[in-house]
Amino acid sequence: MSYEERRNKLYRWMAEERLSLVMFEYTETRPDPAVRWLTGHPGDGLLFLGFDRQGKSHSLLVPWDINIALIYAQADSLVAYAEFERQPLKALKRALGYFNTPLGSKVEIPPVTPYPLFLNYVEALIDFEVLCRNGGIHQEVETFRAVKDEEEIGIYRTLSDITNELIDALEQHIRSGDLSTEGAVALFIEAECRKRGCEGMGFETLAAGPQRSFGIHPFPAYTGGDFATRGLSILDFGLKYAGYTSDVTLTFVRGPLSRAQERLLTLTERAYRLALAMVGEGIATKTIAAAVDTLFGNAKKSMPHALGHGIGLEAHEAPALRNRADNDWVLKPGMIFTLEPGLYDPAQGGCRLENDILLTEAEVEVLTHARIIRL
């Protein structure tokens, strides 16, 4: 699906809602990946979608770096952010004039806009109805992004191949002793992924040797300490390719282990197999997460985090896979998400197994090959 086709989906929704102009904002403090999803622009900027007085749709991208936008972005018009003194309110006022938006029209700004700034918008745009809300067009984009199109799925196939290459290389180098510290492992991943055309890491790599693997997210993310020595070591990483992020977790195991450690591993693998077997079109993600929680609960264990999450232009996005009353996500073909059961014990260490899953109309496809590796 082209960027124009994605925008057309939103124009139809805007027409139904009688929205004349909407603003998306990707800045350091308020990063919204919808800007890249709708235009391909990989940097900071504002995106305006709207209708002129004749009802014709149009897109206006206001990038911070116009030179990068000219190479990567696809929008009907480009105007450098510097022309508006890099102030979103000034850019919005100019956009209203550019679109010749009728007075009294509905204009929607991002729901994450701070309240004092929202009041500035309302005061400056007194002749328009300024909307800043949950459940508006920004949530609609989140819903659209949860189901990947063919182009996105193609990107994920390439990204998964690279991720799997690095998983195999990691196992080989750790077995040979070439990578023996948390830092060496983390830096190896980043260097190797960039050699293969990745933009970098999707998030900071989490590498925790046996003394630190009890934490869901170890602090700091990695150190110069030993990795994959006796006990349980956790490695959680994601690669970014064409803007999209993979997310996998491996557990490296070196014995001899205690019975308690073996039990953690066995339960985690059982939970992963159970969750994977339940994945299917129309299945509520809360149902899968609840089944895993029940399995752990019957063993007098508990998982302190969600079972998984969607991935895409962000490392964590829709759909959510968690056992919470407010989770109403249902699996649909085209969704790509993680399954990542894990257990953690301050005395025994922790283990987690996470892979990226694609649901198609024909099958459940495990894109990545993360695993529990016994050394």
Residue 193: predicted pLDDT: 98
At which residue do the structure tokens 């105007």 appear?
Answer: 79
If you average pLDDT over residues 321-327, what whole number do you get?
A: 96
Q: Is residue 38 scored above 90 in pLDDT?
A: yes
Q: Is residue 1 scored above 80 in pLDDT?
A: no
- Where do you find CATH 3.90.230.10 in the chain? 147-374
| pLDDT bracket for residue 53 (50, 70, 90) | confident
Q: What is the 3-state secondary structure (H, E, C) of the chain?
A: CCHHHHHHHHHHHHHHHCEEEEEEEECCCCCCCHHHHHHCCCCCEEEEEEECCCCCEEEEEEECCHHHHHHHCCCCEECCHHHHCCCHHHHHHHHHHHHCCCCCCEEECCCCCCHHHHHHHHHHCCCCEEECCCCCHHHHHHHHHHCCCHHHHHHHHHHHHHHHHHHHHHHHHHHHCCCCEHHHHHHHHHHHHHHCCCCEECCCCEEECCCCCCCCCCCCCCCCCECCCCEEEEEEECEEECCEECCEEEEEEECCCCHHHHHHHHHHHHHHHHHHHHCCCCCEHHHHHHHHHHHHHHCCCCCCCCCEEECCCCCCEEEEECCCCCCCCECCCCCEEEECCEEEECCCEEEECEEEEEECCCCEEECCCCCEEEC
Residue 165: predicted pLDDT: 98
Residue 192: predicted pLDDT: 98
pTM, full prediction? 0.95
Average pLDDT, the chain: 97
Token digits of residue 354: 């996470």
Domain 3-145 has CATH 3.40.50.2300: no
Residue 52: predicted pLDDT: 86
Residue % of the chain over a pLDDT of 90:
98
Q: Cα separation of 159 and 153, whole Å?
A: 10
Q: pLDDT of 60-88, one tens digit each?
A: 999 999 999 999 999 999 999 999 989 99
Q: pLDDT of 145-196, one tens digit each?
A: 999 999 999 999 999 999 999 999 999 999 999 999 999 999 999 999 999 9
Residue 206: predicted pLDDT: 98
Looking at the domain 147-374, which fold is it?
Answer: Creatine Amidinohydrolase (3.90.230)
Phi and psi for 245 in degrees, rounded to 5?
-115, 135
Q: Is residue 54 scored above 90 in pLDDT?
A: no
Q: Cα separation of 243 and 73, whole Å?
A: 13
235 touches 207 (CB < 8 A): yes
Residue 125: predicted pLDDT: 96
Residue 147: predicted pLDDT: 97
Q: Cα separation of 289 and 322, whole Å?
A: 5
- Where do you find CATH 3.40.350.10 in the chain? 3-145
Q: pLDDT of 80-133, one tens digit each?
A: 999 998 999 999 999 999 999 999 999 999 999 999 999 999 999 999 999 999
